[in-house]
Amino acid sequence: MIIEVLNTLLLSMLVVTALGIARMRSLFPVAMMTGLFSLLSASLFVLLDAVDVALTEAAVGAGIITVLFLGTFALTSAKEKTVLPRRALLGLGVVCVTGAILVYASLDMPHFGASDTPVHNHPMRERFVETSQAEVGIPNMVTAVLASYRGYDTLGEVCVIFTAGLGVVMLLGARKKAAR
């Protein structure tokens, strides 16, 4: 019962935050509100028992991204450009159609908490949930899957992060050196 109330409260706060972001023209409060949005999403992830994702969302979404936004505003402008009413209508149309498609797609998703879904019936489930305790012996099976069974993919992800870092430092960090 409490979970339902919390879920409803958090989800409606998400909607209110999103509407608030859409209405604002000054971007500093928008950066703050997106941080709040991330924090609310992180709380929802905790309620869904996805604590790993919640940790990431809270640290990246509410912490790092907000600061990067602020840094970007300091370099560019903290004011949204005014949009012609005709283009605003077009944007509203695109958003509504995309939203409708997403809602339609979500109708195909299994019911929340249903037990007859591929997540529960797939043959690999037993390997990851049960055999992993004997093979890897680590209580957090998310870590066992990410670091051991799927180590190859995680190595690829780390390379992607490293490459992204290299790219940003080369693109944005170079000019400062030249100016010195």
Burial of 40 (0-12, 13-18, 19+ CB in 10 A): buried
What are 128's two structure tokens?
């990851």
Q: Is 151 in the site for other proteins (CB under 8 A)?
A: yes
The residues that bridge with 26 in the sheet, in sequence order, are: 79
Which residues between 36 and 65 bind other proteins (CB under 8 A)? Answer: 51-52, 54-56, 59-60, 63-64
Give whichever of 99 and 167 is closer to other proteins, judged by the CB atom. 167
What are 75's two structure tokens?
């370099």
Q: How far apart (Å, rounded) are the C-alpha atoms in residues 159 and 129?
A: 28
Q: Is 93 in the site for other proteins (CB under 8 A)?
A: no
Give whichever of 19 and 160 is closer to other proteins, judged by the CB atom. 160
Q: Is 159 in the site for other proteins (CB under 8 A)?
A: yes
Query: What is the pattern of x (binds other proteins, CB under 8 A) and - over residues 71-90?
Result: xx-xx---------------
CB of 152 to other proteins, least distance (A): 6
Q: How far apart (Å, rounded) are the C-alpha atoms in residues 57 and 10?
A: 15
CA angle 74, 14, 9 (to 5 degrees): 145
Which residues between 116 and 145 bind other proteins (CB under 8 A)? Answer: 134-140, 142-144
Q: How far apart (Å, rounded) are the C-alpha atoms in residues 34 and 63?
A: 10
Q: Is 178 in the site for other proteins (CB under 8 A)?
A: no
Give whichever of 18 and 136 is closer to other proteins, judged by the CB atom. 136
Instruction: Detail the DSSP E strand segments found in 45-178.
Output: none
Give whichever of 68 and 92 is closer to other proteins, judged by the CB atom. 68
CB of 79 to other proteins, least distance (A): 17
Instruction: Please state, as a whole number, how many other Cβ atoms lie within 10 Å of the Cβ of residue 34.
Output: 19
Q: How far apart (Å, rounded) are the C-alpha atoms in residues 62 and 56?
A: 9
Q: Give the binding site for other proteins (CB under 8 A).
A: 51-52, 54-56, 59-60, 63-64, 67-68, 71-72, 74-75, 134-140, 142-144, 146-148, 151-152, 154-155, 158-159, 161-162, 164-166, 168-169, 172-173, 175-176, 179
